[in-house]
Amino acid sequence: MESTLPTARQSKSAVLKITFVVALGGLLFGYDTGVIGGSQLYFTEYFSLSAAEQGWAVSSALYGCLLGALLAGYLTKKISRKYTLILSAFLFTVSAWGSGVADSLSVLVMYRIIGGLGVGLASMASPMYIAEISPPKERGRMVSLYQLAVVVGFFVVFVATYFIGGGNSTGHDPAQLAMLHEHNVSEGWRTMFWSELIPAISFFVLLFFVPHSPRWLMMKGRTEEAEKVLRSITHSEQEIREELNQITESLVEPTEASGRGKLFKGLGFVLFLGIGLSVFQQITGINAILYYGAEIFSNALGYGPEDALKQQLWLGAVNLVFTFVAIYTVDSWGRKPLLIVGTLGMCLGLSVLGLTIYTQQMGVLSLIAILVFIASFALSMGPVVWVMLSEIFPNRIRSLAMSIAVAAQWLFNAIVANVFPIVNDSGLNREEFNGALSYFVFAFFCLVAVVFVWKWVPETKGLSLEEMESLWEDEEGKTNQNKDSAERAEMNTNV
């Protein structure tokens, strides 16, 4: 197949355009997750929910996310990465509309779970697709745009709910505040959900204009179509030939084991690595801070509840700024240094926050500690984990392995979201730690995560997706060699 190749600038532009469209899945991930933070202040009162019912309304989407991530492994392989994303966009749209028209808790929860399914599908399919169409030397930056989109989604929804909720209410008299609150309880929270329709419908329409992933096309034997896609995003004939050959070789199943068997035998280490990174991203506390950030800010700085929507803007702004730093350093500094430095910063922020709460010296230092934690997460565990999950798994098992790793992420997200308020309200926390126990626990897990990254995580910057397979083969070879050496030593000892 011969055709005129794009110039280097044109090929880079083509990849960027596709990436921006697919990364909208991340924006909707952040938007759908963040919209609950502002709206729950009002629909809780509208439906007269108990504390348990409120918790169910807030966390229900996470179980949809878990199911969506598990289904994504099958769907991205069976119907393609592209059509899985289109399905997720449809689910986002249905959820946004239905959540806004809900007339009972059960109906609201049903539509929140539908939205969660969309988040779960997009959280796997978007970074996977971006990794598969990106040049190796820029893959970290391209996939980081997905995390940037998540952060932008959070920030945009915080701004949207702030203004839908009435904006700055400073200077309002009691009668004006009462009218504003009554409007938000009756109608405002519905508009907050409906505001998601704009990005959801845009995502749905734009996805029809992006191509299929060339690696998925090769998996389905559609080589000519795969080459056509590569010719639209690659400016070198040699690179096209090399990439096609590497993809073909990577898709050849070993004769001694099926792809599924290979996953749990020869490639057990990389699956362990992916699950470990996913779990540490959650148990180091990010979503506890994001979900309960307004309450933490209120306790630390003494803000009143009417400022809860405004307080979220601090978190969103810092998260956004430092995600840009990660994007511009992940392919130059590398994945491993960013993970180690950022996770140490997270530990520092959590430790200082915990100490200010433990000593009851809450104030500006507490605020700075929270922002240091958010900035450090945005520099490391946020974008870098998504980059590594999208690139470390070999082609033939990427869908299944990544779906397991992402499902683990959503499972521990739900666990943290449910356990955090329980630990906070425990007698041990109140009597022995003055409310600081959760933050000390998160800081401890940050240290464990640093050891995990330092000991187990290799540097992957600049490697093609196919070249990376040799990394895991080497690791498995070392493991088997060490095992054989240990067995020989034991035999000699017995003799």
Q: Are 414 and 252 in contact (CB under 8 A)?
A: no
Average pLDDT in the 45-74 region? 86
pTM of the model: 0.77
The pLDDT of residue 18 is: 94
What is the model's pLDDT at position 45?
87
Do residues 352 and 369 touch, judged by C-beta distance below 8 A? yes
Supply the mean pLDDT for the chain. 83
Radius of gyration (Cα) for the chain, nearest Å? 24
Q: How far apart are CA 476 and CA 128, in angstroms?
A: 24
pLDDT for residue 263: 47
Across the range 341-361, mean pLDDT stands at 93
Tokens of 187: 């109608």
- Checking if the pLDDT of 405 tops 60, the result is yes
Cα angle 39, 41, 42; round to 5? 75
pLDDT digits (tens, 9 = 90+) for 304-337: 444 555 666 777 788 888 988 988 888 888 889 9
Q: CB atoms < 10 A from the CB of 67, how many?
A: 17
Q: What CATH superfamily is the domain 7-210? A: MFS general substrate transporter like domains (1.20.1250.20)
For the chain, give every domain's residue range.
7-210, 262-495
Residue 243: predicted pLDDT? 83
pLDDT on residue 459: 85
Residue holding tokens 């392995």?
A: 401
> Is residue 493's pLDDT more than 80?
no
Maximum mean pLDDT: which of 100-109, 124-133, 229-238? 100-109
Return all residues near 108 (Cβ < 8 A) that are at least 6 apart: 43, 47, 57, 99, 102
Element (H, E) at 434: none
Whole-number pLDDT of residue 96? 96
pLDDT at 135: 82
pLDDT band for 495, please (50, 70, 90 cuts).
very low
Residues counted in the chain: 495
pLDDT of residue 485: 44
Q: Are 124 and 406 contacting, i.e. CB atoms less than 8 angstroms apart?
A: yes
Q: Looking at residue 133, what is its pLDDT?
A: 87
Considering all CA atoms of the chain, what is the largest pairwise distance in Å, rounded to the nearest integer? Answer: 90
pLDDT higher at 51 or 495: 51
Distance CA 430, CA 234 (A): 59
Residues 363/301, Cβ–Cβ less than 8 Å:
yes
The answer to whether residues 409 and 281 touch, using CB atoms and an 8 Å cutoff, is: yes
The Cα–Cα gap between 62 and 432 comes to: 31
Question: Do residues 424 and 291 touch, judged by C-beta distance below 8 A?
Answer: no
C-beta neighbour count of 372 within 10 angstroms: 18
Higher-confidence residue: 361 or 104?
Answer: 104
CATH 1.20.1250.20 assigned to domain 262-495? The reply is yes
For 312, list phi and psi in degrees, rounded to 5. -65, -25
* Per-residue pLDDT tens over the stretch 430-484: 888 988 899 999 999 999 999 999 999 988 887 776 677 666 665 555 544 444 4
Find the mean pLDDT for residues 42-50: 88
DSSP label of 425: T
262-495 matches 7-210 in CATH topology: yes
Q: For 141, phi and psi rounded to 5 degrees?
A: -65, -40
Most confident stretch, 93-107, 172-186, 307-321, 352-366 = 93-107
Contact between residue 118 and residue 378 where contact means Cβ atoms under 8 Å apart: no
